[in-house]
Structure 1
């Protein structure tokens, strides 16, 4: 009843704002409010929108799953529970096959140029694949790796282990290597490892510290294993209901350039986590040899084959789509060799 009352109150506030000639939008995400993406990404983006609109378009942030579970944020935008949501498509395996190219291992080397490239590439497919919402922008997280309770060095070390994967493709990878994936949203990751339900996690470096996972994982593999994809999804009625000048402001802030800007601070913060781990005596950061890296990359190849199959099954030209993705990454110097 309390949640329903809150949503009714929010809806009434939005109506009142619109009646006053302003658009007051609700932005929902599932990260902690102190997360770098909010402080260096969402907040400057919102301020820029407000400034550009002369204060006519404002937003209120609802962090930490206040309006719904992390897994539900796409449907929350579709259903108007929030006007704009922060979506991890990988939380719903198989639902969005094209965008999951950004989850494939050893593809993206950095999140800044990688985000700009990823957004510009996905715009050609977003309207069809995510037809329920208005896709504002897409970006990727800084490359993550494996953080574990016990030392892991080669693909064979995954066999028999329970791993919390960052997204659907990592879940498939864990299964491919003989492990079992433990599917929980990021805010619940520490708990499942602490109680022994998982042996390791695939996570970006500083998120290990932000979510308290550093207390239960002391071993780290120093390699850019994967990225996670994200979308800023907007409720269609909220977008179409804006005045023409307000909609233009939103459009001007839903660009590949903004995808790079909004992810840049987060990328720097995540990268700093690696230095933290290296500086701590009770943590071990293992750098794979060239031979071990080749083994990791070889073990991941079936995931790309599976991606092609899924995209073809959905009616897409997987070869052309994949080639376009690689070209976009190469243009921004973010394609792994």
Structure 2
């Protein structure tokens, strides 16, 4: 992988040699973060007048989830996109956006997340230039039997990840950790009877064939994504290319989240209902308040226990302030 075809220059500006940037991600290119990758490459091509070409390594073909950021630091790849939501210990400030604090869509959560990273410049991303950051919509229960109360959840084995694990535990379920590509087989074999995730997976992973119900209760956001470059590698790029990358950072957060909300989730729900009869069910009377109370305690626990070089309550207050601001605009 040639990271740069003579297009260095230590940031001193505008050489005309072509530059090839390798870009790794752990999920398929057809996933909505993969669509974002392709759109970013097109916009970089336009912004740099064709000077930058992007070489994709999706689907874990070069680096798997959890290895991507280290691969960027080690020069295995120029740009890497991974999910901080999978590793709260390594990304404590990023985990704030995964808390059940009332995000209703990906656009509001994504804009909040990017602002949070830009304002606080957390130590968890020291040594990296953030290319962009965005999130999914909230996570929902998607199950083989309807879940309309806490009693329905009692002891039930459901796939979850990140902040979804303590949420399910607090509500009485038995969360099971596994990669999303393993969920379909685990549903077929009875290892699990459902999962917690954003709802595009009904179509993207074909899971509407294995589940019959979606519980209409949003938890915290299902997943977050941050694409990064090594700071040293970024500094080698011509200044005009650096500027394009920085200018595209908020554009791509908005593009990815709007695509997810409008062109990814809604069509998946309609397809799941029309092709496989998947039903959306409501919580029983009084259960929403009970769910809300249980999850609010998880937020309090995060404030008390999260590690990092920041004030957790201050960060949480800022998350809620940005959520309200972008919700009003949205």
> Normalising by structure 2, what TM-score?
0.89
- Give the one of 186, 191, 196 matched to 1:197: 191
Partner residue in 2 for 1:14: 3
User: After TM superposition, which residue ranges in structure 1, 4 or more long, deviate above 6 angstroms?
Assistant: none
Q: Does 1:301 align with 2:296?
A: yes
> After the TM superposition, which residues 180-329 of structure 1 pair with which residues of structure 2 at under 5 Å, given as runs?
180-227=174-221, 228-255=223-250, 257-268=251-262, 269-280=264-275, 282-289=277-284, 291-311=286-306, 313-329=307-323
CA contact (8 A) 2:141 2:194 kept: yes
C-alpha displacement at 1:319, in angstroms? 1.5
- Give the one of 50, 53, 73 matched to 1:55: 50
- Give the one of 63, 85, 90 matched to 1:68: 63
CA contact (8 A) 2:202 2:272 kept: no
Partner residue in 1 for 2:13: none
Q: Does 1:25 align with 2:21?
A: yes
C-alpha displacement at 1:173, in angstroms? 1.3
C-alpha displacement at 1:163, in angstroms? 1.6
> After the TM superposition, which residues 96-135 of structure 1 pair with which residues of structure 2 at under 5 Å, given as runs?
96-135=91-130
Please list every run of 5 or more consecutive structure 2 residues that lacks an aligned counterpart in the other structure: 9-15
Q: Tell me, in whole angstroms, the C-alpha distance in 2 between the residues paired with 1:34 and 1:281.
A: 21
Q: Tell me, in whole angstroms, the C-alpha distance in 1 between the residues paired with 2:125 and 2:151.
A: 37
Secondary structure at the aligned position of 2:59 is classed as: coil
Secondary structure at the aligned position of 1:71 is classed as: coil
Secondary structure at the aligned position of 2:141 is classed as: strand
**Greater fraction helix:** 1
CA 1:334–1:230 in 2, change beyond 3 Å: closer, same or farther? Answer: farther
Kindly provide the CA deviation profile for residues 112-136 of structure 1, in whole angstroms up to 9, marking residues without a partner as x: 2331222112212344222142222
**Comparing 326-335 and 212-221, the one that deviates more:** 326-335
C-alpha displacement at 1:265, in angstroms? 1.0
Provide the aligned length of Structure 1 versus Structure 2: 320
Q: Tell me, in whole angstroms, the C-alpha distance in 2 between the residues paired with 1:53 and 1:171.
A: 43
**RMSD of the TM alignment (CA)?**
2.2
CA contact (8 A) 2:142 2:194 kept: yes
CA 1:16–1:161 in 2, change beyond 3 Å: closer, same or farther? Answer: same
Q: Tell me, in whole angstroms, the C-alpha distance in 1 between the residues paired with 2:328 and 2:286.
A: 23
CA 1:15–1:139 in 2, change beyond 3 Å: closer, same or farther? Answer: closer
Please list every run of 5 or more consecutive structure 1 residues that lacks an aligned counterpart in the other structure: 1-9
Partner residue in 1 for 2:165: 171
> Normalising by structure 1, what TM-score?
0.87
